[in-house]
Structure 1
Amino acid sequence: MYIVAIGWAYVILMMAITASSVGKALAILVFLGALPIALFVYVVGGRKRRVRSMTVSDQVADQRNATDPETD
């Protein structure tokens, strides 16, 4: 999925290079490039964050069960 972000960044970079002024180029890079790519990476990486957080909470629960003698 990151190939989509790389392709999008390339297209936006080419648009910024052909802009008529530096201000327009910076606006294109920020509003059409950096913000959408950051949002995309955040949304796509959400599954990994959830799995990582569940793994940590499962480890904590396992440690509590291992130290508690009256769990069974």
Structure 2
Amino acid sequence: MSTVVIAWLYVVVMMAAAEALSPQGTVLGAVFTLLLYGALPLGLVVYVMATPARKRARRAREAEEDAARAAARAAAAGSDAPDQRREAPAADAVAPEGKET
């Protein structure tokens, strides 16, 4: 992908230089050549060419999040903490402060 970008930039810079150095050309015309033949089309091409990489990264991130959720669910299901399974505390629990049993 970088070869396409470098080649296109080379062509556009040469076009802009020809526009700026030509007796009939202007520097403003060279700037518009850089923008309209260089930056805008190149940005669109790079965005389209990078679409598969963005999709792969998104799928990998979603798979990682799903694995983390599954691990959290498994840890919560196997935990002995009474509040996570909504069970009453065990009989041998320590009495709250100020209360005697």
TM-score, length-normalised on structure 1? Answer: 0.89
CA drift at 1:10? 0.3
Unaligned runs of 5+ in 1: none
Give the ranges of 4+ consecutive aligned residues of structure 1 lying more than 2 Å apart after TM superposition: none
Which has the higher Rg, Structure 1 or Structure 2? 2
How far apart, CA to CA, are the structure 2 residues paired with 1:55 and 1:34? 30
Output the amino acid matched with 1:59. E
CA drift at 1:65? 1.0
Higher percent of residues as helix: 1
Unaligned runs of 5+ in 2: 20-24, 78-101
TM-score, length-normalised on structure 2? Answer: 0.65
State the number of aligned residues. Answer: 70
The percentage of counterpart residues that share the same residue type is: 33
CA drift at 1:29? 0.2
Q: Which has the higher contact order (CA 8 A, sep 6+)?
A: 1
